[in-house]
Structure 1
Amino acid sequence: MGDEGWRWSDAWIFVSLVIAGGAGRHRRAPSSRRPEGVRLTDVLSTADHLNHAIPARQEVEAAVRRLIGADLITVTDGWFRVTPTGERLWRTRPHGGLSTTVETMHNVLTRRHPPGTAEWELDEEEHAAAVQEYAARVRIPAPRRSPENDGR
């Protein structure tokens, strides 16, 4: 699997994890981020924001295996984190607009860092639960003001 090169979906998952975890914020110190990392729902939410699609279970599983094997991320007890190696790679990438971030990161991965392989599985039920949690988040309607409390 490691000989195949990086896939676009690997970069998509990596960028989603970076942004969801706050490592993508300009000059934000690692000590100011949540030390436990982010949950799968947050990664899927950010991935949907970036590409208007929720990654399939197989895409997430394959990408995470390759990213863990390359020492770019870790996953412990369901918490996803960017490693110091992953953060260095992220911070030294060429900068552009958000719309090209995944493509830029794919090119950086391809040129600078070989993919790895690691044992990691994403259970079908865990993926489905994360998708369902995300769907519930985006379906929550904004609070409506009653005509009596509209501030007039």
Structure 2
Amino acid sequence: MGEEGWRWADAWIFVSLVIAGGAGRHRRAATTRRPEGVRLADVLSTADHLNRSLPARHEVEAAVRRLAGAGLITVSDGWFRVTPAGEHLWRTRPNGGFGTTVEAVHGVLSRRHTPGTSDWTLGDDEHAAAVQEFAVRTGQPVRRRPAQESSSG
């Protein structure tokens, strides 16, 4: 996959956002989910659950820029939300085992959508605060991905 294509981390962040927001639970209707969206600490917590590591700041920033630019998510005042287009992607993805969800979404992104660009930025301090909140909530040590994995995918 070329530099302009979707990265595995983009799918990882998208799936984390969907699950953290409740859209993954029994295909709940949008009206039964958290309408305000989810905070970054929630996304990080779900990402850790999916991959047993936390995404680096640059992975989150790049994924959110590409996903928001493609119209699949929005971020406003620190709240992350899945758009109707993102909801459609999630609901029409191939269903496999839970272990393949990120890979399935990555494939759907690659086939159906073009990564977009957005000017959203994630400051080091915001990411650090969300990581700290994650650590306090879970009582777990922070597990980061090795550097060689965080740029590939």
TM over 0.5: same fold? yes
Letter in 2 for 1:40: L
d(CA) in 2 for partners of 1:37, 1:67: 15
> 1:27-63: per-residue Cα shift (whole Å, max 9, x none)?
3110011111000000000000000010000000000
CA distance in 1, matches of 2:30, 2:64: 21
1:66 maps to which residue? 66
Q: Offset at 1:99?
A: 0.8
Offset, 1:70 = 0.2
Match of 2:110 in 1: 110
AA aligned to 2:127 is H
State the superposition RMSD in angstroms. 1.4
CA distance in 1, matches of 2:83, 2:43: 16
Match of 1:96 in 2: 96
Q: 1:57, 1:133 → 2: CA distance?
A: 15
Please state if 1:75 is matched with 2:75. Answer: yes
Match of 2:74, SS state, is strand
The residue correspondences of 1:42-57 to structure 2 (distance < 5 A) are 42-57=42-57
Aligned to 2:35: 35
| SS of residue in 2 equivalent to 1:4 | coil
TM-score by length of 1: 0.89
Unpaired segments of 5 or more residues in structure 2? 141-153
d(CA) in 1 for partners of 2:63, 2:52:
18
User: Distance between the aligned counterparts of 1:34 and 1:15, measured in 2?
Assistant: 16
Map of 1:139 onto structure 2: 139
User: Once superposed, which parts of structure 1, at least 4 consecutive aligned residues long, lie more than 2 Å away?
Assistant: none
User: Any unmatched runs of 5+ in structure 1?
Assistant: 141-152
1:116 & 1:55 partners in 2: Cα distance?
20
Letter matched to residue 19 of structure 2: I
Match of 2:11 in 1: 11
In structure 1, what is the Cα distance between the partners aligned to 2:107 and 2:23? 19
| Residues 15 and 105, structure 2, Cα contact 8 Å, conserved in 1 | yes
Q: Which amino acid aligns with 2:129?
A: A
Identity of aligned residues (%): 75
